Amino acid sequence: MLARCKICFRFSLLITALLILSGVSMHAASGRPETVRIRIDPDTVVNRISPVFIGLGYETSAVAQTNYFTAGNATLIRLYRNLGAHGLIRIGGNISDHTRYEADGAPAVQTEREVTVINRANLNDLAGFVRATGWQVMWGLNLGTGSKEAAAQEAVAVDQALGSPLQSFEIGNEVDIHGRYDLNCGDFAAYRSNYLAYKAAIQMALPSAVFSGPDVAGNVGWLRSFAENERGDIRLLTHHYYRCGARSPEATLENLLNPDTAWQEKLQQLAVISRESKVPFRINEINSFYGGGKAGVSDSFGSALWCLDNMFVLASCGCDGVNMETDINQLGWISHYSPVVHDAAMACHARPEYYGMLAFALAGKGNLLKATLDKGDVNLTAYATKDEHGAVWLTAINKDFALDATLEISLPRGCSSAAAFWLRAPAVEAKDHVTFAGAEVAADGQWTPGAAEPVTVKDRTAALLVPHASAVVLRLR
């Protein structure tokens, strides 16, 4: 009997190993699928989604890299264009407070412990890149270790290089948690005094300068005070978000895919401040876990499901958009959470999170409509939109690790058919073989979606099975 048990145990280990090697998720479906009934109200608009909602965010050191932000980086340009003809690039982060502009100096890519140097050629290369993509740029200036005179000089140089694609300037990064901005960390009045001095110097050198801010890490009180004082002279209110630190015990895939109620409550506060000040708000630095993300979590397919869902959560709150943090971080290495990465030769490719952005790019346009869900315990969310051509889209994200879901969608008025574009991977933990609309992003950045799969419609109800750890974008006509 003991020998038989040992054989069974060894066999189970072999099966487990084969599942892992083949990419099959260890989180298997359990029981019958949950039925989820969805109704869309085409006459109730929740919010209008900004045409520049999608964005990417970088440390300033990314600009000092050779052959990255250039008109010749065809792969990176394609990766951007896949996400839309318009978007917003945020340049800043911790490195912005450790950056010096030298017009004819040698560029230097450094960590936050040293000084990053950017020059005129770097800015001209960036200008060529943004012209090729059609995107705009939000630029962060050094409030932490520089001077107002140097910030003004840099602002003039950035404006001269970029021209109309320059969306706005920010002065300082995460100003609510870095004591170097004032003599007393946490003193908003002292911070604002420094901010105003910098702004005045920049406006003296560049009267046309436009600003966004305050670029807080999480202090809503600071953002509210900034809005009250600067609302007549600000383009966007800016705030950051990470679920937690990469070294935290809470930095798990399960935690990432579960709702963050504290964050959703904060978003409601930001929405109120935005309405009262009449200034849009943007989450201009965001990703899974700060500190570069967590390997095996931030770079897995689960991050694509989180990204897609979180972007719709933000759109539902009236947010102007997001800048998914990417590329090299303040520590000098490419973060695990980066949706786009590159090798030493600057050859770029997409990670799983990028596919979540692709899905949003298809469905996250126009008006966000009211959608009502009747569901059980399955961890599934759904969002409806109506684009400028009148097409209705429904995005359903099954973030559950075990439960499949059968969707029963009552077709809204004017719609009689449904077709599906799937966001899939071999497993929620998968890092490769992710697809959206039946296609992977090619090595050269090309992405050609496959044809939509028809969905069964009976008695004006579309029905389909959405497996656990997957998402679907439905086009309703």
CATH code of the domain made up of 51-363: 3.20.20.80
Q: What is the pLDDT of residues 170-186, one digit of tens each?
A: 999 999 997 666 555 67
What Cα–Cα distance (Å) separates residue 346 from each residue in 118, 130, 298, 308? 18, 17, 22, 27
31, 403 contact by CB (below 8 A): yes
Mean residue pLDDT across the chain: 93
219, 270 contact by CB (below 8 A): no
Residue 283: partners with Cβ closer than 8 Å, 6 or more residues away: 238, 239, 240, 241, 314, 319, 321, 322, 323
Alpha helices in 89-146 (DSSP H): 120-133
What number of other Cβ atoms are within 10 A of residue 51's Cβ?
A: 14
Q: What is the pLDDT of residues 115-166, one digit of tens each?
A: 999 999 999 999 999 999 999 999 999 999 999 999 999 999 999 999 999 9
315, 53 contact by CB (below 8 A): yes
DSSP state of 95: G
27-47+366-417+455-476 placed in CATH 3.40.718.10: no
Measured CA to CA, the distance from residue 326 to residue 62 in angstroms comes to 10
- Confidence check: pLDDT of 198 > 70: yes
Structure confidence at residue 217 (pLDDT): 97
Measured CA to CA, the distance from residue 414 to residue 392 in angstroms comes to 10
41, 370 contact by CB (below 8 A): yes
**Type of residue numbered 107:** P
Q: What would the mean pLDDT of 228-238 be, rounded to a whole number?
A: 96
Q: What would the mean pLDDT of 229-253 be, rounded to a whole number?
A: 97
pTM: 0.93
Token pair of 230 as six digits: 């600067």
* Number of residues in the chain: 477
What Cα–Cα distance (Å) separates residue 432 from each residue in 22, 24, 131? 11, 12, 31
- Confidence check: pLDDT of 205 > 90: yes
- Confidence check: pLDDT of 286 > 50: yes
Residue 358: partners with Cβ closer than 8 Å, 6 or more residues away: 82, 83, 436, 441, 447
Q: Where are the domains of the chain?
A: 27-47+366-417+455-476, 51-363
Question: DSSP string spanning 60-91?
Answer: GGGGGSTTSSSTT-HHHHHHHHHH-S--EEEE
Burial of 218 (0-12, 13-18, 19+ CB in 10 A): middle
Asked whether the bond before 214 is cis by omega within 30 degrees of 0, the reply is yes
- Parallel/antiparallel/unpaired status of strands 281-290 and 237-245: parallel
238, 291 contact by CB (below 8 A): no
106 falls in which pLDDT band (50, 70, 90)? very high
- Confidence check: pLDDT of 227 > 70: yes
- Confidence check: pLDDT of 26 > 80: no
Structure confidence at residue 178 (pLDDT): 79
Q: What is the pLDDT of residues 270-285, one digit of tens each?
A: 999 999 999 999 999 9
With H, G, I as helix, E, B as strand and everything else as coil, classify residue 165. Answer: coil
- Parallel/antiparallel/unpaired status of strands 461-466 and 405-410: antiparallel
Residue 93: partners with Cβ closer than 8 Å, 6 or more residues away: 57, 58, 59, 60, 140, 173, 285, 325, 329, 330
SS (H, E, C) 346-403: CCEEECHHHHHHHHHHHHCCCEEEEEEEECCCCCEEEEEEECCCCCEEEEEEECCCCC
Determine what percent of the chain is predicted with pLDDT higher than 70. Answer: 92
